[in-house]
């Protein structure tokens, strides 16, 4: 008998027929005598719909009330799955975030899980009951509903698995594993049997939305055994493992593990900022105080006038707030005007091989130049290089890079 967490994403939960399919998989694990906690997402499209309601209600909405609204999608699917399981003869009940509770920080819309009380889960398992837990939601110490950021059900699942010391955390989604890049835009992408926590973390953090970044960080810290697999077929998926489990084929290791893209960043340029010590602090301190994450930054050399342009990216969802913060800080910063563009995309290549090999970034720049794709900004880390490009070229850029790094699946490479 094992203790397992099964997480089902939005596509797997979209409609009663699909929820029945999910319930069949849950029943199979329960029939085998396992303790089963199921973490569910809202039906696909539902969270977007709820987010849009908030934006329509007020562009500068109160994030605490936003959380009340967007957390509701998962409440619906957790109740529905419990109903379907019961109808199949499996004792089940839903446990909302506040009922367990799942305690989080008060960073609304991107809250972090602090602790999960497992007493009620343990009691449910003792009664041979399946516990259905809505992902994405939690509760602050002062009893307000929170959400964990988009894609946060993955993090809920890993956190539940860590808290209940589960043997496995199976993340069921609409693709059959982790690929070298998004298989929906690159049909030649290759499925990976295994990927290290570190590489998955980096891929997720630059946009591979198959797992939420924080879920991978948590799995790595808590040593949770995570597998990504499809809910539509019976076949093995991708295991996220420690580096030592891949070491065996070290010689064969690809230089680059994968490529990701992120269309959810917007470019902001402050034109003619006075070039003096402390100038950039006047820009980024108020943004940090407003909890707005700045990613790529480019500061150009000063013009003759003694002014310089500063370009950076923020999450598109935060663009309105960022522009509001910059407008309020205008006198302090002293810029002439602000330009913004959300039709941009960040494309990144990731691989631990970058640590020991020169020329990885050069291959990227050359491949993009060859297709006349202009680079708007660049950022690098030890195992990643990212470029910002016009969003219209996203698919072309990802495909070209996939081929340039030799990642195309063997049977398709010659096409
Ligand atoms: P869920 O609703 O199950 O959480 P998501 O839509 O959040 O599903 O994540 C699954 C999607 O992630 C896939 O449909 C795929 O388009 C996308 N994706 C992006 N990069 C990758 C990758 N490297 N491997 C697999 N899927 C990826
Ligand atoms: N429903 C939430 C979202 O769409 C959380 C999740 O599905 O992981 O972001
Ligand atoms: Mg997801």
The two three-digit tokens of residue 332, written as one number: 């302090």
Q: Are 112 and 159 in contact (CB under 8 A)?
A: no
Model confidence over 237-267: pLDDT tens digits? Answer: 999 999 888 765 554 467 899 999 999 999 9
Q: Are 259 and 180 in contact (CB under 8 A)?
A: yes
The backbone region for 240, taken as left when phi is positive above 0, alpha when psi lies in -120 to 50, beta otherwise, is beta
The two three-digit tokens of residue 106, written as one number: 């008060």
- Give the binding-site residues of ligand 2, using a 6 Å CB cut-off: 9-10, 41-42, 47, 73, 135-136, 150-154
Nearest to 59 by CA among 321, 308, 316: 321
Strands (E), 19-165: 35-40, 92-94, 102-104, 113-116, 130-134, 137-139, 145-147
pLDDT for the residue numbered 306: 87
The alpha carbon torsion through 65, 66, 70, 75 (nearest 10 deg) reads: -10
The two three-digit tokens of residue 404, written as one number: 């340039």
Give the number of other CB atoms < 10 A from CB of residue 248. 8
Please tell me whether the overall predicted TM-score, pTM, comes out greater than 0.85 for this model.
yes
Atom of ligand 2 at shortest distance to CA of 153? Answer: 8
Model confidence over 294-351: pLDDT tens digits? Answer: 999 998 777 778 899 999 999 998 999 999 999 999 999 999 999 999 999 999 999 9
Q: Which residues in the chain show pLDDT less than 70?
A: 247-253, 412-415
Give CA–CA dist 295/287, Å, rounded: 12
pLDDT for the residue numbered 245: 83
Tell me how far apart the terminal alpha carbons of the chain are, to the nearest angstrom. Answer: 47
CA of 325 to the centre of ligand 1 (A): 33
CA of 364 to the centre of ligand 3 (A): 28
Atom of ligand 2 at shortest distance to CA of 148? Answer: 5
How far is the CA of 137 from the CAs of 19, 140, 183, 205, 411, in angstroms?
A: 20, 10, 29, 21, 43
pLDDT for the residue numbered 382: 87
Atom of ligand 1 at shortest distance to CA of 203? Answer: 23
One of 3.40.1160.10, 3.40.50.1970, 2.40.30.30, 3.50.50.60 is the CATH number of 3-174, namely 3.40.1160.10
Per the DSSP assignment, residues forming a β-bridge with 380 are 385
What does the domain layout of the chain look like in residue ranges? 3-174, 259-404
Residue to probe by mutation, ligand 2, list 9, 137, 151, most atoms within 8 Å of CB: 151
Give CA–CA dist 15/152, Å, rounded: 20
104: helix, strand or coil: strand
CA of 85 to the centre of ligand 3 (A): 23
Residues near ion ligand 3 (Cβ under 5 Å): 9, 151
Give CA–CA dist 280/325, Å, rounded: 14
Ligand closest to the CA atom of residue 209: 1
DSSP 188-247: T--B-SEEEHHHHHHHHHTT-TTS-HHHHHHHHHHT--EEEEESSS----EEEE-GGGTG
pLDDT for the residue numbered 413: 46
The two three-digit tokens of residue 235, written as one number: 């076949």
pLDDT for the residue numbered 60: 85
**Cis status of the peptide bond prior to 101, with omega within 30 of 0:** yes
Strands (E), 265-405: 265-274, 297-299, 307-315, 337-341, 344-350, 377-381, 384-390
Q: Are 379 and 386 in contact (CB under 8 A)?
A: yes
Under CATH, which number does the domain 259-404 receive? 3.30.2130.10
């Amino acid at each position: 008998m094992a203790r397992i967490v099964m997480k089902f994403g939005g596509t797997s939960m979209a409609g009663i027929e699909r929820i029945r399919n999910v319930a069949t998989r849950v029943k199979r694990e329960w029939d085998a005598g396992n303790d089963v906690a199921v973490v569910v997402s809202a039906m696909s499209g539902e969270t977007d719909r709820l987010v849009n309601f908030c934006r329509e209600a007020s562009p500068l909405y109160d994030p605490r009330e936003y959380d009340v609204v967007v957390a509701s999608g998962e409440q619906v699917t957790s109740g529905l799955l419990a109903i379907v399981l019961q109808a199949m003869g499996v004792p089940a009940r839903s446990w909302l975030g506040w009922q367990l509770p799942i305690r989080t920080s008060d960073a609304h819309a991107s809250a972090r899980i602090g602790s999960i009380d497992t007493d009620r889960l343990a009691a449910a398992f003792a009664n041979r009951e399946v516990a259905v837990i809505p992902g994405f939601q939690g509760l602050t110490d002062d009893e307000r509903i929170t959400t964990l950021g988009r894609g946060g059900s993955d993090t809920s699942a890993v956190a539940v698995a860590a808290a209940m010391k589960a043997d496995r955390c199976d993340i069921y989604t609409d693709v059959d594993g982790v690929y070298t890049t998004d298989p929906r835009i690159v049909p030649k992408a290759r499925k990976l049997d295994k990927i290290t926590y570190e590489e998955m973390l980096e891929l997720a953090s630059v946009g591979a939305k198959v797992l939420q970044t924080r879920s991978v960080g948590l799995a790595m810290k808590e040593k949770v055994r995570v597998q990504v697999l499809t809910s539509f077929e019976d076949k093995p998926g991708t295991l996220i493992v420690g580096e030592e489990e891949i070491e065996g084929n070290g010689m064969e290791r690809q230089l680059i593990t994968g490529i990701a893209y992120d269309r959810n960043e917007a470019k902001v340029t402050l034109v003619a900022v006075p070039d003096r010590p402390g100038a950039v602090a006047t820009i980024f301190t108020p943004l940090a105080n407003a909890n707005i994450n700045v990613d790529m930054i480019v500061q150009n050399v000063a013009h003759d006038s003694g002014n310089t342009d500063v370009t950076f990216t923020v999450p598109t969802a935060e663009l309105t707030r960022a522009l509001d913060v910059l407008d309020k800080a205008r006198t302090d910063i002293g810029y002439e005007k602000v330009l913004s563009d959300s039709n941009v995309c960040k494309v990144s290549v990731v691989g631990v091989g970058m640590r020991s090999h020169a020329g990885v970034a050069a291959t990227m720049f050359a491949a993009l130049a060859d297709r006349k794709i202009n680079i708007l900004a660049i950022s690098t880390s030890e195992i990643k290089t990212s470029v910002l490009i016009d969003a219209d070229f996203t698919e072309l850029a990802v495909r070209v890079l996939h081929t340039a790094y030799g990642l195309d699946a063997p049977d398709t490479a010659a096409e």
